[in-house]
């Protein structure tokens, strides 16, 4: 039995995953980092400390696989770019290198972003047959629209088309969610809030901002917080907030799709797991007159995880 291990230590999740030779997911182990109630994030030093504590606990869940490991991949940076760096990834990279050296197992450093893309491709394998596609990566630490092809020095050759100019989409949700009294991270709790209320529309409007230079969410944050202070319901503000993210993406994809002549779009990252954003994008971008083909990762593979990293270990080793 040939197995492939992925390790990912992102800003808020410690993850290990194991896949087999056919790409079946055998283990998908995760631990969310602990953010105090009312907090809006963690310092990198605190996040690294929690990763170091979590990794042995996760490795204990997958013990006994070392003799079957063909390769290991670890996310050692946010994006596949030379200047890309974040201290949290050093925790996972160190664990991966120790295991690689101790067991004489090949190690493949990859980026967190490539892991997200590969996790999204797991249930959309047709994208590996495409010469090119667009990828939306919206999370707490990234808000980018990317042009993706197969790479040489990295598995994917990724070119940034458009990015956030200030805060990220996930930060927008988390900051407003915490102001509503929701726990951090607030995405899933905001979705539960709307589902429980049966909310699928609101008269509240938060304007979106998109230009050729990028898109902005700081104005949306300011307006959402003002609406809460004025006494508007959490449900109405939450729906308007998610809608402005979807509207921003719609405008941006229409612009980039026309420029690049590409309408196949993979959507990954924790924000893209939100059913309200997903439904609006499908409704607005997939009709025949618009013509986009949207590919979403399974919700549990949209949020931070090591599955895509493990799949990259398999792909690199077989290349």
How many contiguous H segments (helices) and E segments (strands) does the chain have? Answer: 10, 12
pLDDT at 93 over 90: yes
pLDDT at 25 over 90: yes
Q: What is the pLDDT of residue 81?
A: 83
Q: pLDDT grade, residue 179 (50/70/90)?
A: very high
Q: What is the pLDDT of residue 31?
A: 98
- Which two structure tokens, joined as six digits, stand for 7? 């390790």
- For 166-198, give the secondary structure using H, E and C: CCCHHHHHHHHHHHCCCCCCCHHHHHHHHHHHC
Report domain extents, the chain: 3-123+302-318, 163-296
Mean per-residue pLDDT of the chain:
96
Q: What's the rounded Cα separation, in Å, for the pair 27 and 24? A: 9
Same fold, 3-123+302-318 and 163-296: yes
Query: Which pTM value belongs to this model?
Result: 0.94
Q: What is the pLDDT of residue 160?
A: 96
pLDDT tens for each residue of 219-238 = 999 999 999 999 999 999 99
Helices (H), 3-128: 44-61, 88-103, 112-122
CATH entry 3.40.50.300 includes domain 163-296 = no
pLDDT at 311 over 80: yes
pLDDT at 297 over 80: yes
CB of 269 within 8 A of CB of 172? Answer: no
- Over range 172-185, report the average pLDDT: 96
Residues paired with residue 135 on neighbouring β-strands, in sequence order: 146, 266
pLDDT at 306 over 90: yes
b or e along 277-291 (b: 16 or more beta carbons within 10 Å of the residue's beta carbon)? bbebbeebbeeeeee
pLDDT at 174 over 90: yes
Looking at residue 131, the DSSP 8-state letter turns out to be: S
- Over range 276-280, report the average pLDDT: 97
What is the second-level CATH architecture of the domain 3-123+302-318? 2-Layer Sandwich (3.30)
């Amino acid at each position: 039995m040939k197995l492939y291990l992925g390790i990912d230590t992102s800003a808020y999740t410690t993850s290990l995953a194991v896949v087999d030779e056919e790409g079946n997911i055998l283990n998908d182990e995760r631990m969310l980092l602990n953010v105090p109630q009312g907090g809006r994030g963690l310092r990198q030093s605190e996040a690294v400390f929690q990763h170091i504590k979590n990794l042995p606990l996760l490795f204990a869940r997958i013990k006994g696989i070392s003799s079957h490991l063909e390769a290991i991949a670890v996310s050692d940076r946010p994006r596949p770019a030379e200047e890309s760096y974040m201290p949290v990834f050093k925790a996972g990279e160190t664990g991966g290198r120790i295991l690689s050296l101790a067991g004489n197992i090949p190690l493949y450093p990859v980026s967190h972003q490539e892991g997200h893309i590969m996790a999204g491709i797991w249930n959309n394998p047709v994208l590996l047959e495409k010469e090119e596609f667009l990828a939306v990566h919206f999370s707490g630490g990234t808000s980018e629209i990317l042009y993706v092809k197969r790479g040489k020095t990295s598995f994917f050759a990724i070119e940034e088309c458009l990015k956030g100019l200030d805060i990220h989409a996930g930060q927008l949700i988390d900051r407003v969610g915490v102001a509503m009294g929701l726990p951090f991270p607030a995405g899933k709790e905001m979705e539960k809030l709307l589902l429980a209320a049966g909310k699928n529309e609101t008269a509240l409007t938060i304007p979106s901002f998109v230009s050729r230079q990028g898109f902005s969410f700081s104005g949306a944050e300011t307006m959402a917080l003002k609406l809460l202070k004025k006494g508007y319901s959490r449900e109405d503000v939450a729906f308007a907030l998610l809608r402005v993210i979807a509207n921003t993406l719609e405008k941006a994809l229409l612009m980039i799709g026309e420029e690049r002549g590409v309408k196949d779009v993979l959507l990954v990252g924790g924000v893209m797991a939100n059913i309200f954003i997903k439904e609006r994008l499908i409704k607005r971008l997939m009709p025949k007159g618009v013509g986009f083909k949207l590919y979403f990762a399974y919700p549990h593979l949209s949020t931070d995880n090591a599955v895509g990293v493990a799949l990259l270990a398999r792909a690199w080793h077989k290349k």
